[in-house]
Amino acid sequence: MNVVDVLLGEHGAMYSQFDCVERVVPGLDGLQEIRALGALLAAVVQSHSTVEDELLFAALERPLGRASPALVGMRMMHEDIDRGFAELERAEDPGAARDALLGVVGLARQHFLGEEESLFVTARRVLDDETLGRLGAAWAERRGVLQNPIEDWTSAPHGA
C-alpha cells in the first residue's frame, strides 16, 4: 500500500466533507452548530496533517533537505489551517464562525491541490517503492485499518 495513494484517498473523502460544509454552513445561524461542524472537520483534517507530516514529510527530509522550500511551505500551510480552526473556536458570533470555517475549508482546498500537483509528485519520484510501501503500512497501523487481512490469513500456518 503506497502512502501517497492512501493520502490522496483521504483528500478525496475530505473533498466531499468540504462540499457539504460549503453547502450547509451559509444557512446556519447557531454558533454552537457551526462550531460542532467545524470540530468534526478539524478532527479529520488535523489528523491527516499529522500523519502526513510525521510519515511522508519526515521521509522526504532526507532526499529534499529539511529546509526544502516545498516541505517548509507545506508545513506552514498545516499551521495556517490549524490557526483557522483555532479562530473558529474563538469566534463569538455566528457570522465570524461561518467566515472562519469557510475560510479554513478554502485554505485546505488550496493546500491539498498544492500537494497533489507538486509534493506528492515529487514524493513518488524521490522515494523508492519499498519506502512508499513501508510508510503505507505505518499509515494503516496509525489509522487502525487492516492491511491485506486475506493475504495474512492465507499465509498463516494450517491450523493456526
Query: Cβ of residue 120: shortest distance to Fe ion, in angstroms?
Result: 8
Distance CA 126, CA 141 (A): 24
Distance CA 116, CA 8 (A): 8
Query: Cβ of residue 51: shortest distance to Fe ion, in angstroms?
Result: 9
Distance CA 98, CA 31 (A): 8
Site string for Fe ion, 30-69 (x = CB under 5 A): ----------------------x-----------------
Query: Cβ of residue 40: shortest distance to Fe ion, in angstroms?
Result: 18
Distance CA 121, CA 53 (A): 16
Query: Cβ of residue 66: shortest distance to Fe ion, in angstroms?
Result: 17
Query: Cβ of residue 96: shortest distance to Fe ion, in angstroms?
Result: 25
Cβ partners under 8 Å of residue 79, min gap 6 = none
Region of 17-25, 55-63, 90-98, 107-115 interacting with Fe ion (CB under 5 A): 107-115
Nearer to Fe ion, 34 or 74 (CB): 74
Nearer to Fe ion, 115 or 139 (CB): 115
Q: Please count the residues of this chain forming the interface with Fe ion, following the rule CB under 5 A.
A: 2
Region of 24-32, 91-99, 110-118, 144-152 interacting with Fe ion (CB under 5 A): 110-118
Alpha helices in the chain (DSSP H): 3-24, 31-51, 58-64, 69-90, 94-114, 120-126, 129-143, 149-154
Taking the CA atoms of residue 111, residue 38, residue 41 and residue 103 in that order, the dihedral angle to the nearest 10 degrees is -10
Contact residues: Fe ion, CB under 5 A:
52, 115
